[in-house]
Amino acid sequence: MYLSRESYKRIINGLTDGLYIVDQEKKIVLWNQAAERISGFPSAEVLGRSCSENILCHTDETGINLCSNGCPLLATMINGTSHEGEIFLHHKNGHRVPVSVHITPLCDSRGRVIGGVETFSDNSNKKADALRLRELEKLALLDGLTQLANRRYLERELDARLEEMNRYEIPFGVLFMDIDNFKRVNDFFGHVTGDRVLQFVAATFNANSRPFDLYGRWGGEEFVGIVRNVTAANLKHMGQRLRQLVEESFVITQEEELHVTISVGATMALPDDTISTLLQRADALMYQSKAAGRNRLTMG
């Protein structure tokens, strides 16, 4: 059976996973429609460019940029063996998306490696997010700019989690997060860019959260994460992971990468806590992170 070029193209674009192919110089020669959807980058913006050139910019969960240190695609092309793993790609809007990748060498008829093929699937909780968004929209509990829960919904959720903890001893923690030097972003780049920064930071929280946790915008550039059924060590790890993902993310403005960082206060809820005492403690810990130099997490 013979398949035409158009048939192959339809098959590749019909895949639910992102797929792209690079040549020996790691320049992208094919970019399917799922890759466009998951990354936000249309094929016209990536074909002929290196995959590390402000496009996917893969990082691991500690924030290490794999494009410059430990690129699995390059390792596949050098060793001629397949690789797979869980990493984070850079979305065009600035946030980080968790993906599962599988990379295989592309060989010619003589078995010589002439490129690489990478497929990647979106690991963010999109189905759970869609249900959550619909419910929030019904209740008018959605922040219009960031698409996260608003302050009213966060307060309701905190009240429910405190009752759950006291009745069933199910622990939870709070992450209080603030974008560092956000006023400088607004003053230098303008409020439109400031809004883009708020959106990509919010999208990072949303894409990398568990379905039963809740992240919301408390106000201005402040965000709150309500993390259920965790230990203090788990909470600290999750907060550090989000902090590192934000640090390694960026938006393109004025043809430059605009990076921001967040300061985080992390605390476990205590049996005698109220919403006020819990958030005051988390807020104070966040300000300790600010005072210690920003872009860090303080646990207490």
Q: pLDDT at position 51, please?
A: 82
Q: Which neighbouring-strand residues pair with 252?
A: 257
Could you tell me which CATH number the domain at 5-122 has? 3.30.450.20
Task: Say how far apart CA 164 and CA 168 lie, in whole Å.
Answer: 6
Mean pLDDT of 232-236: 98
- Give the domain ranges of the chain: 5-122, 126-299
Report the predicted TM-score, pTM, of the whole model to 2 decimal places: 0.82
Task: Say how far apart CA 73 and CA 24 lie, in whole Å.
Answer: 11
Tens of pLDDT, residues 174-184: 999 999 999 99
Q: Which CATH superfamily is domain 126-299 in?
A: Reverse transcriptase/Diguanylate cyclase domain (3.30.70.270)
Contact 120, 15 (CB under 8 A): no
Under DSSP, is residue 133 helix (H, G, I), strand (E, B) or coil?
A: helix
* Per-residue pLDDT at 129 exceeds 70: yes
Q: Would you name the residues annotated as active-site residues?
A: 221
Q: pLDDT at position 199, please?
A: 97
Q: pLDDT at position 127, please?
A: 61
The yes-or-no answer to whether 5-122 and 126-299 have a common fold is no
Q: Which neighbouring-strand residues pair with 267?
A: 174
- In this structure, the number of other CB atoms found within 10 A of the CB of residue 97 comes to 24
How does residue 62 score in pLDDT terms, banded at 50, 70 and 90? confident
* Per-residue pLDDT at 13 exceeds 70: yes
Mean pLDDT of 148-153: 94
